[in-house]
Structure 1
Amino acid sequence: MALLETNFDSQVLGLSLGANLILPEHPEAWKEPPAVLYLLHGLSDDNTIWCRRTSIERYANRYNLAIVMPDAYKSFYCDMHHGSNYWEFFSEELPMLVKRWFKVSDDPKKTFVAGISMGGYGAFKLALNCPGQYAAAASLSGALDLASHINDEWDDCRRRTFQAVFGAMQNIPGSGNDLIHQLKNLDGIPDTKFYACCGTEDFLYQDSLTFRDLAAEKGLRLTYEESAADHKWDYWDASIQRVLEWLPIENLSQP
């Protein structure tokens, strides 16, 4: 695999930020532009974290797959109340730039999004709001029911983060940032496939259960898995391998 570290200017955000990319080197992969997975990080991480904490480059080598790992800072992939328009960046500008600069597929059937924790929230928000853009979306220990946490006790750092993104946690219920509200009011069932997994000891476990149960009620195409685990990288390192196996992409070489 080829690992690229890129820095570029975003017109939407008005700043320079980074993204790491993994591009396939397998000769079979380049008979046509490879499928692309946007792999999102969590609240305390950045664009380097997937390469630092997992063997994602080695796992991706089995597939005809490019992986884009962008920096989202602490934005929750939203247009921030006090800050920049990260939703506009991730839903519009970033895919446009990736397709302009790199020879990856522009076919929605070969475009996927996944993430951990805050990134799991971002992945499902993108898939629910841009159903024609992604064939599959995966949440690993995702913060899928933010409205249920409005009365949680947070440290000062996270409280300031939530205020910057949402104005106040009380603004989340019933808004466009409330995934459960969006799912309840879904107008038609998207063709997008969804995958959610979470550890049973995770503080976000109930979020995944709530989303799972409502998805079943609404008829969403959701694959759900759980196991005894906490909010830890050893769980996500194992989980991302299952996500890659689940994605509708060609396995070019056996592990």
Structure 2
Amino acid sequence: MGLTSNAVLVLAVSLAVGLFAATIRLWPRLAARTASAVAGRIGLLLATQLALFVSAGLLANNSFLFYGSWADLFGQKQDLGTVTDHGAGEPVAGGVARIGTQRPDVPGGGRPAVAGRIDKVVVSGRASRIDSPAYVYLPPEYFQPAHARRTFPAVIVLTGYPGTAENLVKGLRYPQTAHEQVRAGRAQPMVLVMLRPTVAPPRDTECVDIAGGPQAETFFAEDLPQAVSRTYRVGSRARNWGVIGNSTGGYCALKLGLHHPERFAASAGLSAYYRAAEDPTTGDLFHGDRKARNRADLLWSLDHRAPAASSFLVTTSRQGEGNLRGTREFIDRVKAPARVSSIVLDSGGHNFNTWRREIPPALEWMSGRLSAT
């Protein structure tokens, strides 16, 4: 049973309730001062508390999807090579290998021309030599005869750290939200390429090209768009591509849009921060290179780079987010011909509930700034 399955949660809750009932029933029998009775009381209390702790943890994880699997929970590194071998065909260098499909959680989910389709893929980067798992959401129009020759705009969607791509499908419901926005006439059909920014797990690379290490920025800015454009009916120009993310993914999205206007016309950072994190999870990103560190500072970059005709969206809240001041600074430093928009909630923390409130208008904003041709 998977970590996020309801069966595991029900089993844990049932065990906690059963142990609680057993404690009440057996406590009078264990009231003696003998060693066995004391050990029994201690054992019941510890077992009950452990079961309650596990139940609460599973409930929180099912709500916010901090971890997508048992392997993710225990920090086990997954072997992407093995996953690639399960595909219908071997990926070419710098390509996309589809290793499975799943139905979007929308009405008519079994029919791609009605609900679209989600492909589970592995993207192999030619320049970066990075392989990364991802989900690709194809809208219903992609499968409809009337749109058989149409190309679609594409959006890279990034989680936070240490999230999984599954968070974007199950927790933040990007495919379902995109489907609803199109049906309501608020957005155009777009291909969503959903993955986490952690391309060298468990290390948090902050979408940086690390000297002697993972070339994460090259993967996202060069390899990923090229591989997807060769595999799906997606345009290859800047006006065809956008990038959106939350938290670490939001920082990466804004960074990619700022430093690669030739690749991305629009970028949106939900609860983003504006300087690359440097902590034990990142390791040494810059190896003393001050120029590289400055470049990873988005506020510094806005002051020292010639502005391009890019569009940025940033989000924060007046109460609950820690990036309010940084977001205001980012807005103030964007210069024409670049454009900046914002979503400022009255209150909202750094969590899935806040991002679910921001994703629908963010997708509508993104759709208005991308073109299918």
Question: Residue 163 and residue 171 in structure 1: after superposition, are their counterparts in 2 closer, same or farther (change >3 A)?
Answer: farther
- Name the residue aligned to 1:181: 300
State how far apart, in whole Å, the 2-side matches of 1:207 and 1:45 are. Answer: 23
Alignment of 1:115-154 (within 5 A): 115-146=245-276
Verify: 1:230 aligned to 2:230, yes or no. Answer: no
Write out per-residue CA displacement over residues 4-47 of structure 1, whole angstroms, 9 at most, x where no aligned residue: 11124334444532011100113365551111011112122122
Verify: 1:69 aligned to 2:194, yes or no. Answer: yes
* Alpha-carbon contact 1:38-1:67 (below 8 Å) kept: yes
* Alpha-carbon contact 1:43-1:76 (below 8 Å) kept: no
Bigger Cα Rg: 2
- Whose strand fraction is larger, Structure 1's or Structure 2's? 1
Verify: 1:190 aligned to 2:315, yes or no. Answer: no
* Alpha-carbon contact 1:110-1:249 (below 8 Å) kept: no
Residue 213 of structure 1 deviates from its aligned partner by: 2.0
Alignment match of 1:163 (pick from 276, 280, 283): 283
Moved more, 94-103 or 26-35: 26-35
Question: Residue 100 and residue 179 in structure 1: after superposition, are their counterparts in 2 closer, same or farther (change >3 A)?
Answer: same
* Alpha-carbon contact 2:270-2:314 (below 8 Å) kept: yes
Write out per-residue CA displacement over residues 159-185 of structure 1, whole angstroms, 9 at most, x where no aligned residue: 2123343447x9589621111111001
* Alpha-carbon contact 1:112-1:135 (below 8 Å) kept: yes
State how far apart, in whole Å, the 2-side matches of 1:70 and 1:21 are. Answer: 9
Question: Residue 121 and residue 242 in structure 1: after superposition, are their counterparts in 2 closer, same or farther (change >3 A)?
Answer: same
- Name the residue aligned to 1:58: 176
Residue 126 of structure 1 deviates from its aligned partner by: 1.1
Structure 2 spans left out of the alignment, 5+ residues: 1-115, 183-187, 199-203
Q: Name the % identity.
A: 21
Moved more, 27-36 or 44-53: 27-36
Larger RCO of the pair (alpha carbons < 8 Å, separation 6+): 1
State how far apart, in whole Å, the 2-side matches of 1:12 and 1:48 are. Answer: 26
Q: CA RMSD in A?
A: 2.4
* Alpha-carbon contact 1:120-1:140 (below 8 Å) kept: yes
TM-score (norm 1): 0.83
State how far apart, in whole Å, the 2-side matches of 1:206 and 1:4 are. Answer: 39
- Name the residue aligned to 1:34: 152
* Alpha-carbon contact 2:120-2:136 (below 8 Å) kept: yes
Question: Residue 85 and residue 47 in structure 1: after superposition, are their counterparts in 2 closer, same or farther (change >3 A)?
Answer: same
SS for the counterpart of 2:140 is: coil
Residue 80 of structure 1 deviates from its aligned partner by: 2.4
Write out per-residue CA displacement over residues 232-252 of structure 1, whole angstroms, 9 at most, x where no aligned residue: 1111112111111112449xx
Alignment: residue pair count:
236
State how far apart, in whole Å, the 1-side matches of 2:357 and 2:330 are. Answer: 22
Moved more, 23-32 or 65-74: 23-32
SS for the counterpart of 1:76 is: coil
